[in-house]
Amino acid sequence: MEGVQFLSTLFVFAVGLFVLFVIILFIADVAQTKNAIRRNYPVVGHFREIFSQLGEFFRQYFFALDREELPFNRAEREWVYRSSSGADNTVAFGSTRNLSDVGTVIFVNCPFPTLDEHGVPPPAVTVGPYARHPYVFTSLINISGMSYGAISKPAVQALSKGAAMAGCWLNTGEGGLSPFHLQGGADIVFQIGTAKYGVRGADGLLDESRLREIAAHEQVRMIELKLSQGAKPGKGGILPAAKVTPEIAAIRGIPSYIDSISPNRHLEIDSVPDLLDAIERIRLIAGKPVGFKCVIGAYGWLERMCEEVQRRGIESAPDFIAVDSGDGGTGAAPLALMDNVGLTIREALPMVVDILHKYGLRDRIKIFASGKLITPAEVAWAYCAGADAVVSARGFMFALGCIQSLKCNKNTCPTGITTHNPRLQRGLDPADKAVRVATFVHKMRNDVGVIAHSCGVPHPRALKRYHCRVVQANGRSVPLNELYPPATPAPAPLSSVA
């Protein structure tokens, strides 16, 4: 009896507490002036916020169709998950993709496809023939820049080890070179962002001796000057204060727990001649190939750059251009830039290839492409359009276990990839995830090869624009070489080097 009495007292007490809580909430809602819904609909107004947040989760699991979500739909994510776990990723019954959607890519299969035994590995590509240490690579897919800071220590460790296992490169992103990038033994592309983290002098400009030190690491194979990034063209990197831990701050050379905001451009680069001067200077100091990353909007400057290269001599050219898509990913960016500024890779890549071709610089300047190229079809499209290499950031995040919870800017990533909270990082075992990264790369190489063989060529670097058609608004597909006809070459560039 005593137990029942205790429970009923507890119940009455709990109900009393609840009623008190509702009364306090009611008064707080009516008294506040910031939120109209809560002021007009006290207490119940909170449900709107709660349901909006829960909707994000429930839509993904229960309501969104396989091909519906953005930035990546379930079918794309599942392909990466299954590929990186080494699971069988054949599918049954038929395509869930609507093949008449505008922009759908369709490859033209050959009646006599390449036999598997006639397929060959893609040939090596040499970047920076005039640098003291040119870089030779073969990998079809590589890891695009994600700074240590934007992503966590175990994530960087897993990527570094996975890249070494797969034989692809790892770009540091703009947060400097950390010991974790080097740990796995992978080839590294060192990125110099607009704040020059890691090679930053007291004046915010390039510290040559620091650059010399970094470039001296044998693993550092190329240097990438970041002009812009697809998700935020015209805005520098943003690392929220919560993610600027003392260790990250030390690597970047900035104070900890204060927002780390990079300038919108390199302070000393305000024109095409400035850009070529900076590239030449860095190449001389580093002795490694130097190129730049950008998202394309205006493009007249690229033509002026090619003319300037012709004037200065072919060795003055950037060794590569990494073309990022206007719908590229980021740790944090303003929505207006993310949504509405910069061309997507679909338009930008053929445009850049054609401009270089027009000026006879296509062989000299290698082109890397990024922007949602995370499935074999997208990667094969990039090779048809003229890329020398594909790089991906979010493809590798999925390989690490990312569930697209869109929390990269909050330090609360549930998978430990973009958080510095040790409790959340516990779920990310670098050794296990490194294997997934490597398996993803192997599977991608294999499946892009399968598309190439179906088109009748021996490897993906032999894919041409005529191998790929793109569905138009009238429901008909048009070959890529008609959409982007080959440019007429301008006179060959001068060369002061035999």
Ligand X SMILES: Cc1cc2nc3c(=O)[nH]c(=O)nc-3n(C[C@H](O)[C@H](O)[C@H](O)COP(=O)(O)O)c2cc1C
CA distance 331 to 393: 11
* Nearest C-alpha neighbor of 146 from the set 114, 119, 171, 115: 171
Q: Which of 198, 329, 401, 449 binds ligand X (CB under 6 A)?
A: 329
Give the DSSP per-residue string, 123-182: PPEEE-TTSSS-EEE--SEEEPP--BTTB-HHHHHHHHHHHHHHT-EEE-GGG---HHHH
CA distance 329 to 146: 10
| Cβ atoms 477, 469 nearer than 8 A | yes
In the complex, least distance from residue 237 CB atom to ligand X, rounded to whole angstroms: 6
Q: Which of 184, 198, 253, 395 binds ligand X (CB under 6 A)?
A: 395
Q: Applying CB under 6 A, which part among 29-37, 146-154, 305-313, 464-472 lies near ligand X?
A: 146-154
In the complex, least distance from residue 279 CB atom to ligand X, rounded to whole angstroms: 16
Q: Is 370 among the residues that bind ligand X (CB under 6 A)? A: yes
Q: Is 176 among the residues that bind ligand X (CB under 6 A)? A: no
The residue with its CB nearest to ligand X is 173
In the complex, least distance from residue 145 CB atom to ligand X, rounded to whole angstroms: 4
In the complex, least distance from residue 369 CB atom to ligand X, rounded to whole angstroms: 9
List Cβ neighbours of 286 (8 Å cut-off, separation of 6 or more): 131, 211, 212, 214, 215, 220, 223
| Cβ atoms 477, 468 nearer than 8 A | no
Q: Is 408 among the residues that bind ligand X (CB under 6 A)? A: yes
Q: Which of 127, 131, 140, 150 binds ligand X (CB under 6 A)?
A: 150
Q: Is 158 among the residues that bind ligand X (CB under 6 A)? A: no
Q: Is 331 among the residues that bind ligand X (CB under 6 A)? A: yes
CA distance 377 to 374: 8
Q: Residues touching ligand X: how many (CB under 6 A)? A: 30
In the complex, least distance from residue 293 CB atom to ligand X, rounded to whole angstroms: 5
For 369, the token pair is 């492409």
In the complex, least distance from residue 149 CB atom to ligand X, rounded to whole angstroms: 8
Q: Which is it for the CA torsion 319, 325, 328, 330, positive or negative?
A: positive
314: DSSP letter = G
CA distance 434 to 168: 12
The smaller minimum CB distance to ligand X, of residues 174 and 388, is found at 174
Q: Is 401 among the residues that bind ligand X (CB under 6 A)? A: no
Q: Is 230 among the residues that bind ligand X (CB under 6 A)? A: yes
In the complex, least distance from residue 268 CB atom to ligand X, rounded to whole angstroms: 19
For 458, the token pair is 């021996």
* Nearest C-alpha neighbor of 420 from the set 338, 333, 328, 331: 331
Q: Is 393 among the residues that bind ligand X (CB under 6 A)? A: yes
Q: Applying CB under 6 A, which part among 52-60, 276-284, 322-330, 426-434 lies near ligand X?
A: 322-330
Q: Which of 84, 139, 194, 229 binds ligand X (CB under 6 A)?
A: 229
Where along the sequence are the contacts to ligand X (CB under 6 A)? 144-147, 150-151, 173-174, 191, 226, 229-230, 237, 293, 324-325, 328-331, 370-372, 374, 392-395, 408, 418
